Amino acid sequence: MSIRVFTLDQVRKEQIESQASREDAGQLIHAAHGVAPSLSPTSQAQLHEVLRYLVTTLTLPLPLKEMLHELAALIGQAVSADLCAIFLKEPAEEMLSLYTSAPDLSAGNVAGQTLRIAPAVWKHLHSCNLRGQLPSLNTQEMAALNPLQNVQYEALVAVPLIAGTEQIGLINCYANKQLYYRDDDQLMLTTIANQTALAIKHRRCVEEGVFTQKALLKAFIKDLFEGCLEGDESLQRRAYLLGYDLSKPHLIGLIGLSDGEEASAQGTVKEKAEQLVLYESVVEQIKQAIQTYCPGSLIDEHNNLLTCLLGLHNQTEAALDSWLNQLIGQIHAERHIKAFIGVSNACNTLDDYRRGYAEAQEALEVGQCLNHNGSCIHFKDLGVYRYIFKFAHTNGLRDQYQNQIEALVEHDLRKKTNLLDTLEIYLEYGGNIAKAASSLNLHRNTLLQRLERIQKLCGLDLEERQDRLALHVALKICRLQVHCKHMGPGNIT
């Protein structure tokens, strides 16, 4: 099969539509961060403007690829090149790979996008860079420095990316005509390349440090919750090195996110990518909110959940509970995401954390079934639900009390009544007519009439305490089964 040959004019023509959309996006990004937008292809950008862009952008939290793509576009304009490609070398590899280019070649059929530079050629590039000059390349050297095999060009300017003595990468500028630069322009272009190399090295060092920190945090969380063979002293020391004080009381919170039962597990690649972006954005919002409200809290993603060690330094448990429910409401209102939080009892010793993690897991699991619109539930508030939760999911046998509850559910659906809710409140108050009537905002006689109808439908005597207890448990099992059935798909963790 023959390889298609591209001229630089064809490369620019095939990419002009996508380039226009990227420039529009770039205008928005730069406006949001207060950076001057990229110059249009017809503008005569000067190299000092490229350097100003680079220095300004280094202070912004832009992705490296986005920054280098904009830089490639500006360099191409400044040196009158038809194509500017940036190749980077991975720390543990000898090959340079195409990282970005302007116009963008990622969607094209350009053959050969990796490059290995011979030591003699690299030495020549490095020597010119030290003098602030662009290297003069013969035909063989240009061929050796060009991995884009099916792109035709007349001139190639290769600018090495060097940080100290470390090879970072290469900037290749291609043109349909010979390019000539003054000494000042050559010095400026090598300066831009050197600053770019330092910026790339710094970004990589930061990313490596963040990755190491995350790995240490994940290992610490795992050992804290599952047990550490090295003993408690080791855990205390590791916590201190990570900046956390386990001698102070904490609550363990497990946070799960769901985008609702309407989400499809068979979504397109684009939909799944958008879901992932949304999830990461919500997770970051939650992390920032918790660190603001509970400084010194530990937060990490563990077992597909957001795991939080919530410090109780200046807050009461009641205040924290109220704030967590407000956070759930805010996320649902702003992002249309349902958040579920399971919270443990207070942890005061290292052994408590293993117990607390299990409590938070159970609270989260039960809470998701009790309220599928998002909830924060404490382990201590589970009540009888923690005893019947597994039974409700595993028991396949039915008894008279479950049948009686089912009869009430069917009656309510058919007659548009709420006898089941009435029965639940009555049972919650232990058969106390006055308290149940007050809670339901009903007259005593109205409540008695409803209870009489319930007894006829169920065929039992509510005055019998044994029947009331069994019926109450059966009703709670029904609630669990109905809520869990409605949870459906939609977990985006």
> Within this chain, do residues 378 and 401 fall inside the same structural domain, yes or no?
no
Per-residue confidence (pLDDT) for residue 303, from 0 to 100: 64
Per-residue confidence (pLDDT) for residue 270, from 0 to 100: 57
Per-residue confidence (pLDDT) for residue 484, from 0 to 100: 61
Does residue 219 fall inside a structural domain? no
Strands 6-7 and 151-152 turn out to be parallel
Q: List, for residues 379-403, the tens digit of each pLDDT value.
A: 999 988 888 888 887 777 778 888 8
Give how far Cα 410 sits from Cα of 183, 277, 423, 457, Å. Answer: 89, 43, 14, 11
> Within this chain, do residues 312 and 172 fall inside the same structural domain, yes or no?
no
d(CA 179, CA 158): 12
Mean pLDDT of 303-319: 84
Does residue 460 fall inside a structural domain? yes
Does residue 222 fall inside a structural domain? no
More confident residue, 268 or 435: 435
pLDDT tier at 34 (50, 70, 90 boundaries)?
Answer: very low
Per-residue confidence (pLDDT) for residue 37, from 0 to 100: 36
Which residue type is seen at 91? Answer: P
Mean pLDDT of 226-231: 75
Q: Which two tokens stand for residue 298?
A: 């530990």
Per-residue confidence (pLDDT) for residue 12, from 0 to 100: 55
CA 26-29-32 angle, 5° bins? 145
Does residue 284 fall inside a structural domain? yes
Strands 166-175 and 155-163 turn out to be antiparallel
Mean pLDDT of 156-162: 91
The answer to whether residue 228 scores a pLDDT higher than 80 is: no
* CATH number reported for the structural domain that contains residue 467 in this entry: 1.10.10.2840
Does residue 353 fall inside a structural domain? yes
Q: Which two tokens stand for residue 170?
A: 């290469």
The DSSP-derived string for 183-251 is: HHHHHHHHHHHHHHHHHHHHHHHHHHHHHHHHHHHHHHHHHHHH--TT-HHHHHHHHHHTT--TTS-EE
Contact present, 164 and 70 (Cβ < 8 Å): no
Most confident region among 90-94, 203-207, 246-250, 359-363 by mean pLDDT: 359-363
The answer to whether residue 230 scores a pLDDT higher than 80 is: no
> Within this chain, do residues 38 and 138 fall inside the same structural domain, yes or no?
yes
> Within this chain, do residues 266 and 316 fall inside the same structural domain, yes or no?
yes
Residue tagged 């918790």 (tokens) = 290
Domain count, the chain: 3
Percentage helix, strand, coil for the chain under 3-state DSSP, each rounded to 5: 55, 15, 30
> Within this chain, do residues 64 and 175 fall inside the same structural domain, yes or no?
yes
Q: List, for residues 117-142, the tens digit of each pLDDT value.
A: 888 888 989 999 899 998 888 888 88
Which residue type is seen at 484? Answer: C
Q: List, for residues 268-281, the tens digit of each pLDDT value.
A: 555 766 777 888 88
Q: For residue 350, what are the domain limits?
A: 247-382
> Within this chain, do residues 397 and 375 fall inside the same structural domain, yes or no?
no
Does residue 417 fall inside a structural domain? yes
Neighbours of 130 (CB within 10 A): 11
Per-residue confidence (pLDDT) for residue 138, from 0 to 100: 85
- Domain ends where: 146, 175, 206? 206
Does residue 52 fall inside a structural domain? yes
* E-only strand ranges, 90-177: 96-102, 114-115, 151-152, 155-163, 166-175
Q: Which two tokens stand for residue 347?
A: 């942890």
* Cβ neighbours of residue 428 closer than 8 Å, sequence gap 6 or more: 436, 439, 472
Does residue 63 fall inside a structural domain? yes
> Within this chain, do residues 199 and 251 fall inside the same structural domain, yes or no?
no
> Within this chain, do residues 405 and 375 fall inside the same structural domain, yes or no?
no
* CATH number reported for the structural domain that contains residue 256 in this entry: 3.30.70.270
Which residue type is seen at 128? Answer: C
Neighbours of 363 (CB within 10 A): 29
Per-residue confidence (pLDDT) for residue 44, from 0 to 100: 39
> Within this chain, do residues 137 and 163 fall inside the same structural domain, yes or no?
yes
* 32-41, 132-141, 293-302: range with lowest mean pLDDT: 32-41
> Within this chain, do residues 376 and 401 fall inside the same structural domain, yes or no?
no
pTM for this predicted structure = 0.59
* CATH number reported for the structural domain that contains residue 99 in this entry: 3.30.450.40
> Within this chain, do residues 374 and 414 fall inside the same structural domain, yes or no?
no
Per-residue confidence (pLDDT) for residue 359, from 0 to 100: 95
Q: CB-hemisphere CA count at 13 Å for 443? A: 3
- Domain ends where: 325, 350, 382? 382
* 2-6, 346-350, 404-408: range with lowest mean pLDDT: 2-6
> Within this chain, do residues 275 and 406 fall inside the same structural domain, yes or no?
no
Torsion of CA 415, 416, 420, 426, to 10 degrees: -100
More confident residue, 132 or 212: 132
Q: Supply the mean pLDDT for the chain.
A: 80
